[in-house]
């Protein structure tokens, strides 16, 4: 059974930070534990994760994942890549659209360059937080197909955490259920049916900027030393 909010709360969040505060209430059993690490999926997951990490008294870091958009339909994910060279593919999408290995490599190389750019831009010289032996809470602003989060879970597993928790304010019910097969715990605060898009569950779903990501990481570092 996936923990979630009550049905009378199924209305749009004001913004990502408000969503993070709501999500933190469902994660309070992880509060003030020395083994917990919150990892945000940039960019949209950072404001959510910031509020959750503040509420839980947990350290906050990034986990970089990039969607592999289908050629000609870039919003449709044919897979994702994550730090550490992990690549996850949606075989059904690849077959349906006739994606060739060359097409796949072209998109993957482009996204790898962006992943490296963000790694340098956001960390500002800071080393990644150690993962081994810790309870890792992976947070994004929502789950649609789940390909990005799936890649994140698989990549984090390679770093030998004690436990992997996936936590989002809103997600497609089927995706939340499917992720429970690879994560130790999945917390989807809201799982609306029918599910159309993550953005429909936010009154303010403006794109999170690089500067906002850096500002939130700096702010959290100042309060969690």
Whether residue 151 is predicted with pLDDT greater than 80 in this model: the reply is: yes
Domain identity same for 106 and 157: no
Kindly report which listed range (102-111, 148-157, 163-172) carries the lowest average pLDDT score.
148-157
Rg (CA), the chain: 17
Domain identity same for 172 and 212: yes
The confidence score (pLDDT) of residue 112 equals 92
Which of 56, 86, 121 is the last residue before a domain boundary? 121
User: Which residues are bridge partners to 89 per DSSP?
Assistant: 79
Domain identity same for 144 and 214: yes
Instruction: Return the C-alpha torsion angle 173, 179, 185, 189, nearest 10.
Output: -30
Domain identity same for 151 and 215: yes
What integer is the mean pLDDT of 59-67?
92
Domain identity same for 172 and 80: no
Cis status, amide bond into 194, omega within 30 of 0: yes
> At residue 170, what are phi and psi to the nearest 5 degrees?
-150, 145
Domain identity same for 209 and 140: yes
- Closest-CA residue to 164 (of 134, 194, 190): 134
What is the number of alpha carbons within 13 Å of residue 6 lying toward its C-beta? 3
Tell me, yes or no, whether 178 lies in a domain: yes
Instruction: Give 71-122 pLDDT, tens digit per residue.
Output: 988 878 888 888 777 788 888 999 999 999 999 999 999 999 999 888 888 9
Domain identity same for 140 and 172: yes
Helical segments of the chain, H only: 16-26, 45-56, 91-96, 101-123, 147-157, 173-179, 210-223
Task: Supply the pTM of this predicted model.
Answer: 0.86
Segments forming the whole domain that contains residue 78: 67-121
pLDDT category at 2 given cuts 50, 70, 90 is: low
Tokens 């947070």, residue located: 139
Percent of the chain clearing pLDDT 90 (strictly above): 69
Domain identity same for 54 and 140: yes
Domain identity same for 174 and 148: yes
The confidence score (pLDDT) of residue 7 equals 41
Domain identity same for 140 and 216: yes
In angstroms, the CA 94 to CA 151 distance is 16
Tell me, yes or no, whether 1 lies in a domain: no
Report the domain count for the chain.
2
Domain identity same for 147 and 210: yes
Domain identity same for 54 and 143: yes
């Amino acid at each position: 059974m996936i923990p979630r909010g009550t049905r009378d709360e199924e209305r749009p969040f004001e913004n990502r930070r408000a969503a993070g505060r709501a999500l933190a209430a469902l994660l309070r059993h992880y509060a003030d534990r020395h083994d917990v690490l919150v990892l945000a999926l940039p960019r949209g997951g950072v404001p959510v994760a910031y509020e959750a990490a503040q509420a839980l008294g947990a350290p906050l870091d990034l986990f970089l994942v990039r969607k592999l958009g289908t050629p000609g339909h870039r919003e449709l994910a044919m897979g994702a890549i994550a730090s550490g060279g992990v690549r996850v593919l949606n075989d059904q999408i690849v077959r349906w659209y006739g994606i060739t290995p060359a097409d796949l490599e072209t998109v993957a190389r482009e996204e790898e360059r962006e992943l490296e750019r963000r790694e340098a831009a956001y960390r500002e010289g800071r080393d990644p937080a150690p993962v081994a032996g810790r309870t890792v809470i992976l947070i994004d602003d929502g789950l649609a197909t789940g390909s990005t989060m799936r890649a994140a879970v698989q990549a984090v597993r390679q770093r030998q955490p004690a436990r992997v928790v996936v936590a989002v304010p809103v997600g497609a019910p089927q995706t939340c259920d499917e992720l429970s097969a690879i994560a130790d715990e999945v917390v989807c605060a809201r799982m609306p049916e029918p599910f159309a898009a993550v953005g429909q569950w936010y009154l303010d779903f403006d794109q999170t900027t690089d500067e906002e990501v850096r500002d939130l990481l700096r702010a959290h570092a100042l309060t969690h030393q």
